[in-house]
Structure 1
Amino acid sequence: MKRARFGLLALLALAACESSVDRQRATACRRAVPALAPAGTIPKILRIGTGPTPDDLRVDYAVTGPATRAARQRWVVCGFGPGAELLAVTTENGPLNGAALYLLKHYYLDTPEAAAADPGSGGP
């Protein structure tokens, strides 16, 4: 009986951990959207779902603003390694090169500005 209880607790802990990783991945990919959207536009998240592989996450979004006459749909696919480590970002224009990905990861994603601009955070 104790083994069954321990197994159940371990399974629940693993599920909670997986859920936490999924949230971290979704947050990282959402926060990349404003940095990748054209200047002068406002992105709105349409959908977040799985990408081409199990470790990919796809964010579909629309942009509006003075630079666009009508809402235009765009997408970002974020590739992740173990946990929530962002390894690649691809847009409808192609993959980000190593330098652009490095700058995005190290100088934008974890900043207060990225948190404030997160189009899926539920903020203003």
Structure 2
Amino acid sequence: MLAGALLGFLTGLAACESAVERQRVTLCRRAVPALAPTETDLAVLRAGAGPAPDTVRVDYRVGSRPRWALCRFNAGAELLGITTDQGHLNGAALYLLKRYYLDTPDAEASDPARADGAR
């Protein structure tokens, strides 16, 4: 009985972790169009776990040029920072991105996964 309860707890924990991971990947991927030059051919090549805990890396292409973004999160899905191949987003830029873009219908409509099926 104890083993069954432990298995149920671990299964629930894994489901929560994957839900948080999906939220993180979605947020980081949705930030990419705001980071790329406007009116460019943008395609996500890969989006998934980053090299450190609580990070997500999105590899993408702008025209023929490969680019990347690394998003850092708290223990949940709150975006704490973004570093790209161009440098680190400062606090003001990150605040504006979160406050006025990421939670808008424009961010959802511009999500690169909508066009190319990346996850």
- Aligned equivalent of 2:87: 94
> What TM-score does the superposition give when structure 1 sets the normalisation length?
0.88
Structure exhibiting the larger radius of gyration computed from Cα positions: 1
Give 1:6's aligned residue.
Answer: 5
Which has a greater percent of helix?
A: 2
In the alignment, is residue 41 of structure 1 matched against residue 40 of structure 2? yes
CA distance in 2, matches of 1:9, 1:113: 39
**TM-score if structure 2 supplies the norm length?**
0.92
Instruction: Give the aligned residue type for 2:101.
Output: Y
| 1:106 alignment partner in structure 2 | 99
Unaligned runs of 5+ in 2: none
Runs of 4+ in structure 1 over 4 Å off: none
Counterpart Cα distance in 2 of 1:45 and 1:14: 29
For these two proteins, the number of residue pairs brought into alignment is 117
* Residue identity in the other structure for 1:7: L
Work out whether residues 44 and 59 of structure 2, in 8 Å CA contact, stay in contact via their aligned partners in 1.
yes
What is the CA distance between 1:123 and its match in structure 2? 7.2
Structure 1: which 5+ residue stretches go unaligned? Answer: 65-70
What do you get for the CA RMSD once the two structures are aligned? 1.5
Asked whether the 8 Å contact 2:43–2:116 carries over to 1, the reply is no
Relative distance call for 1:21 and 1:105 in structure 2 (3 A) is same
Kindly tell me: are residues 74 and 123 of structure 1, through their superposed partners in 2, closer, same or farther at Cα, counting changes over 3 Å? closer
